[in-house]
Amino acid sequence: MKEGRIIRVSGPLVVAEGMEGVRMYDVVYVGEERLMGEVIELRGDRASIQVYEETGGLGVGDPVFPTGSPLSVELGPGLMESIFDGIQRPLDVLREKAGDFITRGLHLPGLSREKKWGFVPVKKPGDEVKPGDIIGKVQETVLIEHRIMVPPGIEGEVVDIKEGEFTVEDTVAVVRTKDGEKGIKLMQRWPVRIPRPYREKLPPEIPMYTGQRVIDTFFPVSKGGTACIPGPFGSGKTVTQHQLAKWSDADIIVYIGCGERGNEMTDVLIEFPELKDPKSGQPLMKRTVLIANTSNMPVAAREASVYTGITIAEYYRDMGYTVALMADSTSRWAEAMREISGRLEEMPGEEGYPAYLAARVASFYERAGRVKCLGSPEREGALTVVGAVSPPGGDLSDPVVQATLRVVKVFWSLEARLAYARHFPAINWLTSYSLYTGNIKEWVKKNVSPDFMDLSSDAMKLLEEEAELEEIVRLVGVDALSQRDQLILLAARMIREDFLHQNAFHEVDTYTSIKKQYLMLRTILKFYETAKRAIERGVTVKELYGLPVLERIGRMKYVPEDRIEKEIEEIEREIDLQLKEKMEGVHERV
C-alpha cells in the first residue's frame, strides 16, 4: 500500500492525503517516528487519523505508512499479571526500554517473544478440530490454566502436535485444512473493535458475589451481567471498583484504568500482589490483567483502552472462565470520543458528545454475558462488566450516565451526601437497583439459604419506611412517633450502620462472605422481630437503646469468618435473654 502525506495536524487528529486503499479502522504509522494511529474517517484519498501518541513536532508533508490491518491485540500466555497501556504496550517493558517517562514511537509487542511456556496437548494427531476447540494447556500462573484454542478460520485434522517449551510465536500444532496445512501458535490476534464469537448467550442465573454487603445482599450483579457506578468525585467509585476487583468471585479480573489517576494504578500494582484471593489463598495479581491509560496519557489511546481490555476479557471467557471487567471510568472514554469527534468537526449531540455515543456505550456493554463457548469440550464462560461513570457535578442527567443506564441492569448510585458522613460504600440504598434479583432467585435459594432473599426484602422495607418516617420526624420530632415506628427507626439505623456500612480498609470488614452476610442480616432482623414483641408488651424503645447486645451486634462485621457462627449463636441467645429481662421488668412495674 502507498505511503500518504500529512496535510493537517490538530492535537491528536492528523489528516493525510494519498491514502487510497486504506480501510476504516486500519492502523497506520504517522511521521518519521512512526507514531501509531488509526483511521477514523475517509474522504476520497484523505484519511483522518487518531494518533495514539503525542503529536507535537508533526508537520505537513510528513509521511504516513498504512499497515493494512485493524487495531488488534495479542492473545496468549503472558497476559496475566501484566500491565498494558491502551494499545497493549507492556508498561514494565516500556520503562525498561525508555525510562520513567513515556516516550514516543516505541513499538513493543504485547506478549514477550522470549519467554517459554510449557505446553501440554490434549489433542493428538488424527483428531478433527474446529475453531474454539481446546488443543492444549499452558500453566500461565499458579491460578490460571491457559487453554490454547483453535483460532477462527482453522478447521480440519491435526497432523502434528508437540508437547514442550515454546514461545508464543512457535508453532505447537499443525492442522490440515481444506486450504492446506496451517500452524497453530500459543498466540493469536484479534481486532479489538469486533466482539469475539461464541455459540449462544445464556440467561444470567448465577450471582457474582463481591464480598460487599450492600451489593451482594441488596443489589447483586450476576455472572455475565452489567453494572454501573455513577457518582461525583470523592464518593468512592474507585475504591468500590478496587473492592470488586479484589473480592469478586471471578476467575479472572481485567481492570481498565481509563483516563484516571496514575497513582491509582500504582496502588493496584502494589496491593494486588500482596492481597490473597479468599478462595485460593494465592496473590490476587495471579488472576489480574491491568490496562492503564492514565488521564495524562494520549487521549486516542484512552479511547482504544476499553476495547483492548474487553477483548482480552472475552478471550478468557472463551476458555470457559468467569471474567469480571472493571472500567474506570467510562466517562473518560466518552470524553475521548468527544474530543476526537470535535476535531473531526462532526455535528455534536448532547453536551458536545457525538451522536453515536449511546450506540457505542450500548455495544460495549453488550459484549458482556454468560455464554456457551465455541468448540469442544463444551463449556460455559461469563463476562461481567462493571463501568464507573463520572458525571459532571454528580448530575445523573449527564448523557454518558443516561446512555449507560439504558443498557446496564444494575445501578449502584453513589452519593456525595453519604460519603461526607463517611458512610462507605456510599451506595444509596433507595435509588440503586438490580434487575437480576429475579434471575438469581433459584440459585440463591439453593446455595445460600431459602429465606435470604426474603430477609433482604424485609430489610429493604425497613429502610424504605425509615425514609418516610424521617420526613415526619423532620416536621414534628421523634417523640411524636409511635413506639412501633421508633423501633423501625432503630432497626433501620442498625441495618445502615451495622450492615450496610463497610470499611474497605479494615482487614476483616473489607470482605464478607455471603454466608456471613446472611447471618448478620438474620441477626439484625431477629433483634427487630423480638423487640417488636417486647414493645407490644410495654417495653419502650428508649429502654432498648441501652441494651448491651446492640454494641455486640454493631461489632459483628469485625468478627472473622471462622468465628462468626459461634458469635452469632451467642448474640442470638443474648437477644432473647436481654429482651426477656426487659419484658419481665415491665411485668414487675405493672
54 CB burial (10 A radius; 0-12, 13-18, 19+): middle
Contact pick of 483, 503, 513, 540 for other proteins (by CB under 8 A): 503
Instruction: Count Cα neighbours of 299 within 13 Å in the Cβ-side half-sphere.
Output: 19
Q: Coil, strand, or helix at residue 225?
A: coil
CB nearer other proteins, residue 219 or residue 255: 255
Length of the chain equals 590
CB atoms near residue 102 (< 10 Å): 18
Shortest Cβ 507–other proteins spacing (Å)? 11
Shortest Cβ 135–other proteins spacing (Å)? 33
Residues numbered 215-234 forming contacts with other proteins, rule: CB under 8 A: 232-234
Residue 183 within binding range of other proteins, rule CB under 8 A: no
Residue 352 within binding range of other proteins, rule CB under 8 A: yes
Shortest Cβ 71–other proteins spacing (Å)? 20
CB nearer other proteins, residue 9 or residue 327: 9
> In this structure, what is the dihedral angle of CA atoms 207, 362, 28, 317, given to the nearest 10 degrees?
20
Residue 265 within binding range of other proteins, rule CB under 8 A: yes
CB nearer other proteins, residue 296 or residue 431: 296
Segment contacting other proteins by CB under 8 A, of 127-135, 185-193, 210-218, 258-266: 258-266
Residue 178 within binding range of other proteins, rule CB under 8 A: no
Contact pick of 10, 67, 363, 482 for other proteins (by CB under 8 A): 10
Q: Enter the DSSP assignment of 205.
A: -
Q: Enter the DSSP assignment of 373.
A: P
Shortest Cβ 74–other proteins spacing (Å)? 18
Q: What is the pairing mode between strands 252-258 and 226-230?
A: unpaired
Residue with cell 506478549: 111
Residue 335 within binding range of other proteins, rule CB under 8 A: yes
CB nearer other proteins, residue 250 or residue 400: 400
Contact pick of 63, 348, 538, 585 for other proteins (by CB under 8 A): 348
CB nearer other proteins, residue 73 or residue 239: 239
Shortest Cβ 357–other proteins spacing (Å)? 12
Residue 471 within binding range of other proteins, rule CB under 8 A: no
Going from the C-alpha of 253 to that of each of 101, 383, 580, the distances in angstroms are 27, 10, 49
Contact pick of 262, 273, 377, 560 for other proteins (by CB under 8 A): 262
- As a whole number of angstroms, the distance between CA 184 and CA 148 comes to 9
Question: DSSP string covering 23-39, please?
Answer: -TTEEEEETTTTEEEEE
Residue with cell 482453522: 154
Contact pick of 41, 45, 54, 458 for other proteins (by CB under 8 A): 54
CB nearer other proteins, residue 87 or residue 444: 87
- As a whole number of angstroms, the distance between CA 380 and CA 391 comes to 35
Instruction: Count Cα neighbours of 295 within 13 Å in the Cβ-side half-sphere.
Output: 11
Angle between helices 452-476 and 483-494 (to 10 degrees): 120
Residue 393 within binding range of other proteins, rule CB under 8 A: yes
Segment contacting other proteins by CB under 8 A, of 8-16, 70-78, 314-322, 369-377: 8-16
CB nearer other proteins, residue 476 or residue 590: 476
Residue 529 within binding range of other proteins, rule CB under 8 A: no
Residues numbered 408-467 forming contacts with other proteins, rule: CB under 8 A: 416, 419-422
Residues numbered 74-133 forming contacts with other proteins, rule: CB under 8 A: 83, 91-92, 94-95, 98-103
- As a whole number of angstroms, the distance between CA 463 and CA 466 comes to 5
Residue 507 within binding range of other proteins, rule CB under 8 A: no
State residue 463 phi and psi, 5-degree precision.
Answer: -65, -40
Q: Measuring CA to CA, which residue among 374, 248, 256 is closest to residue 315?
A: 374
